[in-house]
Amino acid sequence: MKVLLHVNYYEGAGKFEELFKLIRAVGADGVELRAKRYYDMSKEDYLAMVEELKQRNPDLELAFGYQLCFNNDADTCKKDFEDFVNFLDWAKEKCGTKLLNMFTDNLIAEGVDYYDFSVNGSAIADEEMYARHGEGLTRAGIELEKRGMLAALESHNCYIHDIATSCAKLLTYVKSPAIGINYDHGNIFLNKNGESIDQVFELLKGKIYYAHLKNLMRTRDFKNWMATHLEAGHIDTGKVLGKLKNELKSGIFAIEYACSGDGIIAAKRDMDYVRFLRSWLGF
């Protein structure tokens, strides 16, 4: 398995040289970057910088987070899809990318706070929306198949693909094997409707293409939470990783730093923890 750092360990304009230095320093196999956040650069300058960094680090795996929406008007969706196809060509040719971490439309109920996760996302999706997203993702999957690439929809709050139940349902509408799930228990853990680790693997068996590992603690009423180091253990990362051993289709997972603070020391501590777990679990 390959272990990526998420860009949020050391994110921001002017930090990319240091980010790639950090990847080397902690012994990660690559990085998940953002596809549509250009910081203080133009899109063209950002992509050129990433391409140049890849040329200097040809052995590193580059994945990208990409949002493709289906709830907009027809002309906007058509243009967005064209941009997506063009991005795939660039990522495949210039970065050797095999995997995208994908998102669809933000779903936040009117008058509801973003952080009320259990009443946003899939809680406000109807059958028509599942069908529309499924059709759009099928088209996206066909383009990915042509290029030998995979995409994984992140289990992320305030999207139709938030908890395992909705992820599994959405995939019944997707008619392409190139589309699976990026399993992030840290997000599911924050949702009142979220499933246990065992339930996630039952619901998504054979559909987990990628994974994010991060640790979060929350209050029992789900009203407050904060991110901590992986080793803090509020989420049983050892159990997650052990189950991923035989389920992770891409063979790639990322560790993520979902809070502010010293991402450099966090990356070292989290990578050391992952190394220990892999040794403990025998892979």
- Report which residue type is found at 180: G
Residue 178's pLDDT is what? Answer: 98
Helix/strand/coil for 151: strand
Residue 224's pLDDT is what? Answer: 87
Q: Are 197 and 157 in contact (CB under 8 A)?
A: no
Hey, how many other C-beta atoms are within 10 angstroms of the C-beta on 219?
A: 9
* Positions in the chain short of pLDDT 50: none
175, burial (CB in 10 Å: exposed 0-12, middle 13-18, buried 19+): middle
φ, ψ for residue 99, nearest 5 deg: -145, 135
State the Cα torsion 172-174-178-180 to the nearest 10°. Answer: -50
Structural domain boundaries, residue 239:
2-281
Determine the Cα–Cα distance for residues 58 and 55; give it in Å rounded to an integer: 5
pLDDT in tens, 118-132: 999 999 999 999 999
Place of tokens 């990356």: 267
Radius of gyration of the chain (CA): 18
Residues 128-139: b if buried by 16+ CB within 10 A, e if exposed: ebbebbbebbeb
Query: How many domains, the chain?
Result: 1
For helices 164-171 and 127-146, give the axis angle rounded to 10 degrees: 70
Determine the Cα–Cα distance for residues 106 and 239; give it in Å rounded to an integer: 30
Determine the Cα–Cα distance for residues 104 and 212; give it in Å rounded to an integer: 17
Q: Are 230 and 267 in contact (CB under 8 A)?
A: no
Residue 29's pLDDT is what? Answer: 98
pLDDT in tens, 233-267: 899 999 999 999 999 999 999 999 988 889 999 99
φ, ψ for residue 187, nearest 5 deg: -80, -45
CATH number at residue 23: 3.20.20.150
